Structure 1
Amino acid sequence: MNMQEIVNNALTWIEQLGPWGAIAFILLYNLATVLFIPGSLLTLGGGVIFGVFWGSIYVFIAATLGATFAFLIGRYLTRDWVAKKIADNSKFQAIDNAVAKEGFKIVLLTRLSPVFPFTLLNYALGITKVSLTDYILGSIGMIPGTIMYVYLGSLAGNIAMIGAGNVPTNPQAETAQWIIRIVGFIATVAVTIYITHLAKKSLQESVQ
């Protein structure tokens, strides 16, 4: 049984839980996030089971909670080990200091960008100096992508469709996808330029 089948079976089970389904969905999403399991299938499944409105709310809550758990694991279980490894790396230290100063903006931009893997980014940011508050607030950058994937899932109509990769689209969905891609591209360029600028500034300040 592959991962798609496991996720589909779990979503089918959640669909049968009635009012308790939302809680089970959020818990499953949290577990998947911590275990590096891609959330795209679960997000699509949220659209199938709960519809666009509630699906988007449940996915956003679940993704934010799961990301926060992973962030805390990265910060308190692995940060010291990583910190020792990069202690003499001035460039990384400069980036780390830059993230600490402009955490919210950087987290927001990376959440909008499709280039940064969601599950890996959660742990990676945990070893930086970004504050937990900025990290959580920056999660609003997930909202556009969340709504799009939930909407696509709602068009599928049943869980089997998303597992087969046959999620239907319509002109509105295709337009939304292009908008998200454009926003993601702009965010990718912006965060790259922004972090580079802040890191250079931090390096200059450190040698003065």
Structure 2
Amino acid sequence: MAGKKKRIKIILLTATFSIVVALFYVFDLQQYLTLQYLKSSKTLFISYYEQNPILVLGSYFLGYVVMTAFSLPGAVWMTLGGGAFFGLLTGTVAVSFASTIGATLAMLISRFILRDWAQGRFGKQMQTINSGIQKDGGFYLFTLRLLPIVPFFVINLGMGLTPLRTFTFYWVSQLGMLPGTLVYINAGSELAKIEAIGDILSPTLIGSFVLLGIFPLLV
């Protein structure tokens, strides 16, 4: 009986995942996740936010969680939007919690639903990740979170195939993603000055993240 209930839950979650991803592409929601759209809609969005702050912020938060949980593209633009629309403090708090909750849900989806697919898709990378987790535990995840070269969704899906505890994944992810979140939120608050992603992540800044990430592994 318990096994049957578990299968039903997996089927429902898989169906939900498929529907959300399909709707994202069917309605071409990616068109709203561009630098040009953020700039053109900033004034209007801020006006909505001033009239209905709880509704707008809540909708943004939920949208960010869903997008991250289902590994949909656009996190960079959502984060820039958080800075542009809500400012440095509110934007940082909202994105920090939304991105971490979404990442944790993505990890759990990988662990309990997409395990076979993720194992087949990222099998080679998983050998490295598992080795790192066994050797350095949460410090390894912290390092990955600080390295801009590692795709956000790959870390989430990959960690779902490791024995890392959910709570450890959550708090290490939130801490490790915070520096990057601050950089993008701050950049978003000065949206008019940005012409490309390269204007945000300079080689010096990337180098600083790398050094910060590998330091715990060296001590």
The question of a shared fold, defined as TM-score above 0.5 by the shorter chain, is answered with yes
Aligned partners of 1:142, 1:84: CA distance in 2, in Å?
Answer: 27
Gaps of 5+ in 2: 1-26
Say if 2:84 and 2:188, in contact at 8 Å, map to a contact too: yes
**Residue 49 (structure 1) aligned with residue 88 (structure 2):** no
> Deviations 1:150-179 (Å, cap 9, x if unpaired)?
00100126xxx86xx368x7xxxx7x9565
Gaps of 5+ in 1: 198-208
How many residues of Structure 1 are paired with residues of Structure 2 in the alignment? 179
> Deviations 1:120-165 (Å, cap 9, x if unpaired)?
21111111111112211211111111011000100126xxx86xx3
Say if 2:79 and 2:188, in contact at 8 Å, map to a contact too: yes
Q: CA 1:47/1:105 → structure 2, altered by over 3 Å: closer, same or farther? A: same
Q: 1:138 aligns with which of 172, 179, 186?
A: 172
Say if 1:47 and 1:154, in contact at 8 Å, map to a contact too: yes
Shift of 1:107: 1.1
Percent of aligned pairs with the same residue? 26
**Residue 183 (structure 1) aligned with residue 205 (structure 2):** no
Q: CA 1:131/1:5 → structure 2, altered by over 3 Å: closer, same or farther? A: same
Aligned partners of 1:119, 1:86: CA distance in 2, in Å?
Answer: 12
**Residue 126 (structure 1) aligned with residue 152 (structure 2):** no
Say if 1:103 and 1:135, in contact at 8 Å, map to a contact too: no
> Deviations 1:15-42 (Å, cap 9, x if unpaired)?
4252211111111111221233131101
TM-score by length of 1: 0.69
TM-score by length of 2: 0.66
Segment drifting more, 179-188 vs 99-108? 179-188
**Other-structure match for 1:104:** 138
Greater RCO, CA 8 A, separation 6+: 1
Shift of 1:5: 2.9
Secondary structure of the residue aligned to 2:163 is coil
**Other-structure match for 2:188:** 153
